[in-house]
A and B are shown apart, each in its own frame.
Chain A
Amino acid sequence: MKKLVAAALAGSLLLTACSGNSGGSDAVEKYGSDTLKLYNWGEYMGEDLISNFEREYGVKVIVEYFDSNEMMYTKLQAGDSYDVLVPSDYMIERLMKEGMLQELDLSLIPNLPNLADGVKNLPYDPDNSYSVPYFWGNVGIVYNHNNVDPAVVEAQGYEVLRNTDYKGRIYIYDSERDSFMMALKALGYSMNTENPQEIQAAYEWLLEMNNTMDPVYVTDEVIDGMANGGKDIAVVYSGDAAYILDQNPDMSYWLPSEGTNLWSDAMVIPANAENPKLAHEFINYVLTYDASYSNSEYVGYASSNQEVLENLSGPGGYYEGNAAYLPRSGYEKDEVFVDNPTLKKTLSDLWIKVKAAK
């Protein structure tokens, strides 16, 4: 996936250079400025998303990347100005609460009805007043079905990550939210719990995992690691899992019956955006069939466009038969993260203690 970033980066640089003097003045007339500042996750855009947008609208896009919602939030608080951001559900909730977003003018986003059923009426912003979904998915277990019996994974769910038969053969995602989600779900609790006993139990669950399983803690390295068969089991975001399954036929995907984190990342316009008009145009563009299709096909995350989703996962589609591409919807044990800064801090402190324990 690192190659994707490099390619996307090179592509956007090249096209920024090319489109610099083409039709800029029309765009200035129409939007007030011909530059869009986009702040998105790394490894999260199709290789021609930006270049096509620049060509079609005669504008320049400056892209910056973040690797966690918290990093993005810190930069935003420092006063940096962007036109479009792509944070996750709970972070959008926080930004809305703190008045850091501007309300969308939905008349400028005529493609909104294209939204996939799974990302309509999301709890944090049911009317899309502030946000328009970009990608969505869940979190599941990727495992090598040659070395790990599928029946064991399906019977044990997250508990397989504490099965000492697989000691030294697991990756754990290095983030307190994802690891506590796994532990809380394994114990049958809500991942948004504030009950100290449940959190303590999850802490002990993770501590035992750390002390007995010899896990390797990774973030984006998990993608290449599993694609190369570096380990046998990992808990992975669905879009990355779709990519891993696409690259390595030995890998399978399993969504534990204990439930998982159903998440979505959505495009928002910060209150201090300099070019909100062009920002609306970009959001509308991402929802078009063509843009969304190549974006989703390239990255592996589930499209927010219903038709694209059906075509990519359906018969003859690129992700036909890829268990990780199409997110499970309507399962009652799946939950969405709720913004809770106090809980996050507690979990973050516990998580560093888990990792430091041995």
Chain B
Amino acid sequence: MKQFRSMVYPYVGWIAAMIVLPMLLILLYAFTTPGNDVATFRFTLDNFSRFFSDSVFLAVLQRSLLIAVLTTIICVLLGYPIAYTIARGSEKSSMFWVLMITMPTWINMMVRTYAWVGILQDDGLVNSLLGLLGLGPIKMMYTTFAVVLGMVYNFIPFMILQIHTSLTKMDKSYLEAAADLGADRMQSFLRITLPLSLPGVLSGITLVFLPAVSSFFIPKLLGGGQYVLIGNVIETQFLTSGDWNFGSAISLIMAVIIMLSMYITRKVDTDPATNGKGD
């Protein structure tokens, strides 16, 4: 194995340049005051106190977390049955459905989200169809519904694929053994399939929650700018205010929240009581 060791170096270099360095810069910006040149840093906690002392920002943070949690829950509730059905089918049909689910992600996310504007707007597709049935137009654009829908639509493939993978990896002989021992289908699902697929659900949750909590494009487009989420605040700091320090501080706060939630998820994941080996 030793001769392959050196093949790791490019990867280490990549990580250093693309992940560690930007993170360090964010850290540096977050704790310094604006306008200082490279030679003289002035360290400060002002950026953080400014965020936590302002009820508007805290409300935005709360709203972002709420929408992200809601999105994640819907993705689990919808994604699990879909993944389960796909995994139960033959290998061929399973491959087909996985392809169908991944296909939309080949299209740029911005374009896909734009398509929803045409579907949801007051004279859009849905309302035209409702109009044919004699039902009045429903206001869907620029509502929480549109924002959550856009998020679920964009992020649910990550959930389905994660759960699907863990379901297909599952050893079928457990189910046969359970049947031999007299378990009905419900029991074997609850006591074997569900626990064994939990790691997939948990990594699916991470993959959905992270982009949902930091998304700034979907609320901007489908929420009509009224649904200001934390990603929008960060975007504004970098693109229009030009306050990179405050923007970095908010990014850092988000990073901490995300790391905490990942830590909790992993904790649940390694807890023997939940992964079925404890019984």
Q: What residues make up the interface of A, taking CB atoms closer than 8 Å to B? A: 68, 70-71, 74, 174-176, 210, 214-218, 228, 230, 341, 344-345, 348-349, 351-353, 355-358
Contacts and interface: CB of A to CB of B under 8 A. Distances in A.
A349 B121 CA distance: 30
B275 interface: no
Contacts of B228: 352, 355-356
B192 interface: no
18 contacts: A68-B239, A70-B239, A71-B239, A74-B239, A175-B240, A216-B225, A218-B225, A230-B121, A230-B123, A344-B242, A348-B240, A348-B243, A351-B236, A352-B228, A352-B241, A353-B56, A356-B57, A356-B233
Given A70-B239, A214-B226, 19 more contacts: A70-B240, A74-B239, A215-B226, A216-B225, A217-B224, A218-B225, A228-B123, A230-B121, A230-B123, A344-B241, A345-B243, A348-B236, A348-B241, A351-B236, A352-B241, A355-B225, A355-B226, A355-B232, A356-B233
A356 B239 contact: no
Contact of B242 (A70, A214, A217, A353): A70
Contacts of A68: 239-240
Contacts, number: 59
Given A176-B240, A230-B121, A345-B242, A356 B225 contact: no
Contacts of A228: 123
A69 to B, nearest CB: 10
A352 B243 CA distance: 13
A356 B55 CA distance: 10
Nearest to B34: A345
A41 to B, nearest CB: 16
Interface of B: 54, 56-57, 59-60, 121-123, 142, 224-226, 228, 232-233, 236, 239-243
B251 to A, nearest CB: 15
Most buried by A among B57, B60, B121, B228: B228
A356 B60 contact: yes
Given A216-B224, A216-B225, A356 B240 contact: no
B114 to A, nearest CB: 9
A230 B240 contact: no
A358 B226 contact: yes
B59 A356 contact: yes
Given A68-B239, A70-B239, A352 B224 contact: no
Nearest to A177: B240
A306 to B, nearest CB: 35
A352 B242 contact: no
Contacts of B123: 228, 230
B232 A174 contact: no
Contacts of A230: 121-123
Contact of B225 (A70, A71, A174, A349): A174
Contacts of A348: 236, 240-243
Given A345-B242, A352-B233, A356-B228, A216 B59 contact: no
Contact of A349 (B60, B224, B226, B241): B241
Contacts of B142: 216
B241 A356 contact: no
Nearest to A171: B224
Contacts of A356: 56-57, 59-60, 228, 233
Contacts of B54: 353
B236 A352 contact: yes
B224 A357 contact: no
Nearest to B224: A216
A216 B233 CA distance: 17
A176 B224 CA distance: 16
A5 to B, nearest CB: 14
A352 B229 CA distance: 10
Contact of A352 (B59, B121, B226, B232): B232
Nearest to A229: B123
A218 B224 contact: yes
A87 to B, nearest CB: 15
B208 to A, nearest CB: 24
A349 B243 CA distance: 9
Contacts of B239: 68, 70-71, 74
Task: Give 6 closest A-B pairs by Cβ, nearest first.
Answer: A217-B225, A216-B224, A356-B228, A348-B241, A353-B56, A355-B228
B233 to A, nearest CB: 6
